[in-house]
């Protein structure tokens, strides 16, 4: 009897944790059907650390983001999606790994950090990449709650996928301060 009670309590605690989890909210809201049609426009507010999709002037989706940190600012202005890549990897930032895939040197800038002997560069994964300016895009990534990227716009997995699915090459992207 006591074992069953502890299992029910553990299940209740897990459900409460999931209910308050922003990842669960992102999953649910990314699966809601859009109530408006028309060509999408992506708007990014660096001040609010949020991104939005508008269709026919109506807000249809939003996401928390993490933009470029000091020294790696996200470009501001009017752009268009110039490339989509579902399985993109960074060509500049990543790890040096050995032939077995073991990380030899982590978190490197391939332009600045020398390659250790018998290793090769593997770029950081950037799933659901929507490039809007050469070298800059929206993609799935870590969100620490502050600007922290090398200039790209990071989003939670489900939201990056939602924005990727909604956008096409040519979709307008407005990045506001």
Residue 75 · residue 136 · CB < 8 Å: yes
Q: Give the phi and the psi of residue 26 in degrees, each rounded to 5.
A: -60, -45
* pTM assigned to the model: 0.81
Pairing of strands 77-80, 172-176: antiparallel
Element (DSSP H or E) covering residue 2: helix 2-20
pLDDT score of 23: 57
pLDDT score of 24: 56
pLDDT score of 37: 77
pLDDT score of 19: 45
Average pLDDT over residues 7-14: 52
Asked whether residue 75 carries a pLDDT value surpassing 90, the answer given is yes
Task: Give the integer Cα–Cα distance in Å for 91 and 38.
Answer: 34
pLDDT band for 18, please (50, 70, 90 cuts): very low
pLDDT band for 15, please (50, 70, 90 cuts): very low
Residue 132 · residue 80 · CB < 8 Å: yes
Sign of CA dihedral 144, 150, 156, 157: negative
pLDDT band for 16, please (50, 70, 90 cuts): very low
Average pLDDT over residues 84-105: 97
Average pLDDT, the chain: 88
For the CA atoms of 65, 70, 75, 77, what is the dihedral angle to 10 degrees?
80
Render pLDDT for 137-171 as a digit per residue (tens, 0 to 9).
999 999 999 999 999 999 999 999 999 999 999 99
Which stretches of 31-80 are DSSP H helices? none
Residue 87 · residue 127 · CB < 8 Å: yes
């Amino acid at each position: 009897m006591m074992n069953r009670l502890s299992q029910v309590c553990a299940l209740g605690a897990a459900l409460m944790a999931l209910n308050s989890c922003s990842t669960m909210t992102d999953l649910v809201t990314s699966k809601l059907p859009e109530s408006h049609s028309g060509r999408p426009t992506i708007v990014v507010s660096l001040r609010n650390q949020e991104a939005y999709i508008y269709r026919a002037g109506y807000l249809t989706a939003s996401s928390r983001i993490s933009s470029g940190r000091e020294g790696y600012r996200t470009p501001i202005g009017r752009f268009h999606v110039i490339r989509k890549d579902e399985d993109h990897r960074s060509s500049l930032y990543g790890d040096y790994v050995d032939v077995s895939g073991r990380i030899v040197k982590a978190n490197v800038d391939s332009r600045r950090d020398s390659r250790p002997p018998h290793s090769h560069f593997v770029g950081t994964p950037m799933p659901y990449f929507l490039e809007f300016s050469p070298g800059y895009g929206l993609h799935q990534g870590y969100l620490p709650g502050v600007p922290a990227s090398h200039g790209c716009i990071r989003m939670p997995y489900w939201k990056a996928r939602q924005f990727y699915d909604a956008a096409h090459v040519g979709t307008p992207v407005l990045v506001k301060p």
